[in-house]
Amino acid sequence: MSAQSYVSELFSLEGRVAVVTGGSSGIGRAITGALARAGASVVVVARREAELRETVDELTAEDCRAAWVSADLSTAEGVRVGAEEAAAAFGEPDILVNCAGINLRPPMTELGEDVWDTTMAVNLKAPFLLGQRFGPGMAERGYGRIIHITSQQAHRAFVSSGAYGVSKGGLESLTRSQAEAWSPHGVTVNSLVPGFVLTPLNARLQSDPEKVAALAARTMVGRNGLAEDFAGAAVFLAGRSSAYVTGQSLFVDGGFSVH
Ligand SMILES: NC(=O)c1ccc[n+]([C@@H]2O[C@H](COP(=O)([O-])OP(=O)(O)OC[C@H]3O[C@@H](n4cnc5c(N)ncnc54)[C@H](OP(=O)(O)O)[C@@H]3O)[C@@H](O)[C@H]2O)c1
């Protein structure tokens, strides 16, 4: 067997269908590109159409299979409609990546019910509802991969973690609950845990070069994260070679969490 076909046996996503929420920006966009280039047909779900179109156009220009659905995942109805439209593009997904997320950072004293509710809706309830919609079908078919993007803030407080950290802590618990439910049927469920990644999500924090340098110094690798750092880990967790890895949180953070 050639090296190429061995690697492909381990990691190819040829013939798989993936849905990536938040796949039009930052970490989600890098994961979308990785899954599509590894052979999957990928449906990207987010709100803004220009970014969605640009993401899909870039991939179809490379002969990858990709489609987009504009949906607001902050409401149950938005999730429901978005999920149906996503499944209509290439069929029921084998891979679900929950990457859409928001980080609103009011100080705890000023954290109101509105920010709490919106944060929980996008970061935690949408992944739950999408799991309910797609998980049982994956289990019935005997193959599925669910990947949640959580945060180091599931594990520690960091720059007004507020509702955000709570939502990500819940998402890691959801990872274990879904893994318990569906792993016996070939559906693994894992979390990727970023540290500080240079994306539009934390543009405000990035405008302070001293803070950015201090955060880089807290890693072991000596730099902050880039969206592309998630490509390989996502392909691994989406593919057949991760069949015995489930309920886990994989830190892709340059050693930030253990330094
Ligand atoms: N960057 C970091 O340092 C970092 C650290 C830890 C964890 N994370 C997590 O990693 C994930 C990706 O973050 P990122 O840094 O790549 O952020 P980003 O560049 O801001 O991307 C966020 C994505 O989520 C989508 N989204 C947001 N609200 C949505 C809604 N209501 N409905 C549908 N889609 C929605 C956005 O598209 P639209 O706005 O067009 O809807 C966009 O595609 C998030 O879950 C985040 O919490 C990031």
Q: What is the domain-level CATH number for residue 152?
A: 3.40.50.720
Spatial distance between the Cα atoms of 92 and 204, rounded to a whole number of angstroms = 38
Determine whether the shortest distance from the Cβ of 149 to ligand 1 is under 6 A.
yes
Residue at 28 is within a domain: yes
Residue 257 pLDDT = 96
Residue 247 pLDDT = 98
CB-CB contact of 20 with 35 (8 Å): yes
Give catalytic status of residue 164 as yes or no. Answer: yes
Residue at 47 is within a domain: yes
Determine whether the shortest distance from the Cβ of 32 to ligand 1 is under 6 A.
no
pTM: 0.98
- Among 21, 24, 27, the mutation site with the greatest number of ligand 1 atoms within 8 A of its Cβ is 27
Domain that holds residue 74: 3-254
**Strand runs labelled E in 47-138:** 66-70, 95-98
Which atom of ligand 1 is nearest the CA belonging to 202?
1
Angle at alpha carbon of residue 169, lines to 156 and 246, rounded to 5°: 115
Of 100, 69, 65, which Cα lies nearest the Cα of 83?
Answer: 69
Residue 166 tokens, joined: 């709570």
CB-CB contact of 133 with 85 (8 Å): no
Residue having the nearest C-alpha atom to atom 26 of ligand 1: 100
Residue at 75 is within a domain: yes
How many domains are there within the chain? 1
Residue at 168 is within a domain: yes
Residue at 259 is within a domain: no
Determine whether the shortest distance from the Cβ of 202 to ligand 1 is under 6 A.
yes
Residue 159 pLDDT = 84
Residue at 126 is within a domain: yes
pLDDT tens, 45-70?
999 999 999 999 999 999 999 999 99
Residue at 34 is within a domain: yes
Determine whether the shortest distance from the Cβ of 121 to ligand 1 is under 6 A.
no
Residue having the nearest C-alpha atom to atom 20 of ligand 1: 201
Residue ranges in the chain modelled with pLDDT below 50: none
Which atom of ligand 1 is nearest the CA belonging to 122?
31
